[in-house]
Amino acid sequence: MTAVLELADVTVRRGKAVLLDEVTWVVDEGERWVLLGPNGAGKTTLLQIAAAQLHPTSGAVGLLGELLGTVDVFELRPRIGVASAAVADRIPRGEKVRDLVISAAHGVVGRWREQYEAPDEQRADDLLRELSVAHLAERTFGTLSEGERKRVQIARSLMTDPELLLLDEPGAGLDLGGREDLVSTLSVLAYDPDSPATILVSHHVEEIPPGFTHAMLLKEGRVVAAGTLAATLTEANLSATFDTPLSVSLVDGRWSARRRTRRQAGV
Ligand SMILES: Nc1ncnc2c1ncn2[C@@H]1O[C@H](COP(=O)(O)OP(=O)(O)OP(=O)(O)O)[C@@H](O)[C@H]1O
């Protein structure tokens, strides 16, 4: 297997704050990771490194076969798909959905050519269909619901056929139906062998789509545990990560966690 992302002792400091503390991590081709941790754990910081948007204070980052710091990040970035609230904030609300997706092929936001090439148009339409938002193609981004925006963004992030897909809290702000729809869609992508290696940031094990293979638990910038889902999402690891005694279950491929009752805890 080939490593898509390789971190060795990566530390990020801002003044006295240590945002990431000697993180070592390897993501191989074909793997689908969920990155879990409480607020402020360092998940977004880690994702920014994976997106070649941030350099560590110390440590080494291998990304798509290149060593960060020795390569032009503008050549790396088109090979990485990113969907996050920060990216969504930069999308003009008046852009048409179809144009938003197509224009990703040219590294810009929104329509910038009168004519697109037929293969680009075809791919954008295929992705909108795959993300179940083909019916919104002619709508403007600003008129979409939160769940629809998330799907359109994921379609856009896949447009360049990236080798690494980074999804920062795609479930945030969705209602229960919207979350379940998104989990199903992400599950289809996860099982598709042609999908890129994926890292999904979340606060909730309930949002892990079936088909995901690995998890990293992060707390205060440090790795609590990382590895296959089954080996990592133990009650002990999750309780330590979220500082709460948790009971964890896996039913029909879906994870859930809740605080242990006093009875379960033997109190
Ligand atoms: N420039 C900075 N200077 C000091 N601290 C910072 C700076 N940028 C971020 N932080 C802190 O680093 C920590 C990690 O932030 P990060 O956004 O990576 O966490 P996160 O796990 O994504 O959190 P959330 O789940 O709340 O989105 C937070 O405590 C944040 O306040």
| CB-CB contact of 224 with 43 (8 Å) | no
Topology (CATH level 3) of domain 3-84+162-259 = Rossmann fold (3.40.50)
**Percent of the chain whose predicted confidence (pLDDT) is above 70:** 93
> Locate tokens 């020795």: which residue?
70
Give the residue from 20, 145, 180, 164 showing the smallest Cα distance to 83.
164
Delimit the domains of the chain by residue range.
Answer: 3-84+162-259
Which atom of ligand 1 lies closest to the CA of 41? 21
Which atom of ligand 1 lies closest to the CA of 203? 25
Ligand 1 neighbour 1 (Cβ under 6 A): no
Q: Which residue CA neighbors atom 25 of ligand 1 most closely? A: 39
pTM: 0.92
Report angle CA 174, 185, 33 to the nearest 5 degrees. 90
Ligand 1 neighbour 43 (Cβ under 6 A): yes
Q: Which residue CA neighbors atom 7 of ligand 1 most closely? A: 14
Q: Which residue CA neighbors atom 12 of ligand 1 most closely? A: 19
Q: What is the mean pLDDT of residues 171-179?
A: 86
The string of pLDDT tens digits covering residues 18-60 is 999 999 999 999 999 999 999 999 999 999 999 999 999 999 9
Residues in the chain: 267
Ligand 1 neighbour 19 (Cβ under 6 A): yes
Which atom of ligand 1 lies closest to the CA of 221? 14
Among 12, 23, 44, 219, name the best residue to mutate to test ligand 1's pocket (greatest count of ligand atoms within 8 A of Cβ).
44
Q: In this predicted structure, what is the pLDDT of residue 264? A: 67
Q: In this predicted structure, what is the pLDDT of residue 109? A: 63
Complex ipTM value: 0.95
